[in-house]
């Protein structure tokens, strides 16, 4: 983002569904694609995410909490609209998506801890035995397994070192 504004803040945000709205991998991909588009429109930087079957967790840098709320609401509306256009998803369209209030993260330590917490959710909920095995998390971008275009690794990595390789090794240890 060449024209990043000053006074931007970093927020933790949770989007939850009453039903398993993101259980299908195609739905997870669709949500990430929509969020990527909305993130560009809102000029967000996404530092961490994790999509589970009934919730999505994010650490987002934005111009304010209103930008996060507005963008996630737009993304959720688009997601539900696209799912509603497909008859197979019609019963699921009624499932409400509710977002938390964006919580501002004020220090690098708080950002790092929040990203770690988000990345560890699939492991702690028993989805996988190793963090690197969960596809729908930004952890694999940080670990070098897959490059999610939505994710900006710079700030979280800088919590560990200015050298990218040293940062990656320390980050992987931090997640254990």
CA distance 57 to 113: 14
Q: What is the pLDDT of residue 66?
A: 94
Quote the mean pLDDT of the chain. 86
Establish if 3 belongs to a structural domain: no
Q: Taking the alpha carbons of 146, 148, 154, 155 in that order, is the dihedral positive or negative? A: negative
pLDDT digits (tens, 9 = 90+) for 90-146: 444 445 678 889 999 999 889 999 999 999 999 999 999 999 999 999 999 988 888
This prediction has a pTM of: 0.86
Establish if 1 belongs to a structural domain: no
**Domain hosting residue 91, numbered range:** 9-174
Mean pLDDT of 151-159: 83
Establish if 4 belongs to a structural domain: no
For the chain, the DSSP string reads: -TTPPSS-EEEEEEEEESS-TT-SHHHHHHHHHHHHHHHHHHT-EEEEEEE-SSEEEEEEEES-HHHHHHHHHHHHHHHHHHHHTSGGGGGGGGS-EEEPPPEEE-SHHHHHHHHHHHHHHHHHTTS-SSGGG-SSBTHHHHHTS---TTB--HHHHHTT-SSHHHHHHHHHHHT-
- The CATH number of the domain holding residue 65 is 3.30.70.1290
Q: For the CA atoms of 19, 20, 21, 27, what is the dihedral angle to 10 degrees? A: 180
Looking at the structure of the chain, the number of domains it has is: 1
């Amino acid at each position: 983002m060449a024209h990043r504004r000053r006074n931007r803040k970093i927020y933790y945000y949770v989007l939850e569904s009453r039903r398993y709205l993101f259980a299908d991998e195609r739905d997870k991909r669709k949500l990430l694609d929509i969020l990527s588009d909305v993130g560009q429109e809102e000029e967000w930087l996404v530092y961490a995410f994790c999509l589970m079957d009934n919730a999505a967790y994010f650490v987002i840098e934005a111009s304010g909490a209103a930008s996060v709320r507005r963008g996630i609401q737009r993304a959720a509306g688009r997601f539900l609209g696209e799912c509603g256009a497909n008859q197979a998803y019609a019963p699921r369209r009624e499932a409400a998506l509710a977002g938390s209030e964006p919580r501002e993260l004020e220090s690098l330590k708080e950002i790092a801890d929040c990203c770690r917490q988000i990345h560890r959710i699939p492991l702690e909920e028993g989805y996988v035995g190793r963090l690197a095995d969960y596809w729908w998390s930004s952890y694999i971008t940080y670990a070098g397994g897959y490059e999610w275009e939505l994710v900006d690794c710079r700030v979280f990595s800088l919590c560990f070192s200015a050298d990218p390789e040293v940062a990656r090794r320390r980050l992987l240890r931090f997640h254990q």
